[in-house]
Amino acid sequence: MLLPTSTVGKKIMMAITGQVLAIFIFFHIAGNSTIFFHALNGYVVALYKLPLFVWGGRLVLFLAFVFHIWYGTVLKLENHAAKPEPYAKTRYLQATFAGRNQIWTGVIVAVFLIYHLLQFTFQVTNPAVAADTHPDALGRPDIFMMVAQSFRQIGISGVYVVSLAALGLHLLHGIQSSFQTWGMNNERTLPVIEKTGNVVSVLLFFWYCAIPVAIVLGLLKG
């Protein structure tokens, strides 16, 4: 087995983990969209009634992240070493901004993720609005209040939009790239996959932004 060390093997690890994360990204926003129907708190409670699912999912995601970051870093370092001298004049014909900055959008996402976990999962950044210590009328942790109060601060929403832009860019390259890595491309499918990937990435970006933006604009009130 050459999988984990070979040049294609490493990329396949990136593609598997990246696709797992991307699938999570989709379900995450789908679930979070209950906020638009004032059902966020109920959704979270329902979710926590499935501890195996939650903890299993968390483990998979954690592993996916670890491997994704590990291999991403290894690849980047190897690639950097393989091209030690830059050209005096550089011109890209096909490589996109997103593709070339995959590592940096990835780093932004990672840093953001830590912040995001501290904020909403561990709830240590803004204790004043922590959901676990502020139950709603039904006695559930008031996730909605926590989110709404946080996003009402323009600065926090700004951080989210910027980070989500980074995620969007990451997926812009990542989705089509992962299909190519799996070898699921030929002349006919490549353009289709590229376009679909782009559309999905952009949609995800807007979908995610919809929550903080709606809150900032006052469209979503408790």
Partner 1 sequence: MNLTLYVWRQKNSKDKGRLVRYEAKNVSTDMSFLEMLDVVNEGLIVKGEDPIAFDSDCREGICGMCGQVVNGVPHGPRKKTTLCQLHMRHFKDNDTLYIEPFRAKAFPVIKDLIVDRGAFDKIIQSGGYVSVHTGGVPDGNTLLIPKHDADTAMDAAECIGCGACVAACPNGSAMLFTAAKVSHLAALPQGRVEAARRVCAMTEEMLAQGFGNCSNHYECEAVCPKGIKVKFIAKLNREFIKAQMPGNESCTGRG
Residues in contact with ligand HEM by the rule CB under 6 A: 11, 14-15, 18-19, 21-22, 25, 68-69, 72, 75-76, 102-103, 106-107, 109-110, 170, 174-175, 177-178, 181
Least distance to ligand HEM from the beta carbon of 180, Å? Answer: 7
Shorter beta-carbon distance to partner 1: residue 142 or 194: 194
Hey, which residues between 79 and 108 contact partner 1 (CB under 8 A)? Answer: 79, 81-96, 99-100, 102
Least distance to ligand HEM from the beta carbon of 30, Å? Answer: 15
CA distances from 129 to 101, 111, 125, 126, 213 (A): 35, 22, 9, 6, 19
Specify the amino acid at residue 174.
G
Distance CA 99, CA 169 (A): 8
Cβ proximity of 117 and 111 under 8 Å = no
Least distance to ligand HEM from the beta carbon of 73, Å? Answer: 6
Shorter beta-carbon distance to ligand HEM: residue 105 or 157: 105
CA torsion 94-95-96-101 (nearest 10°) is 180
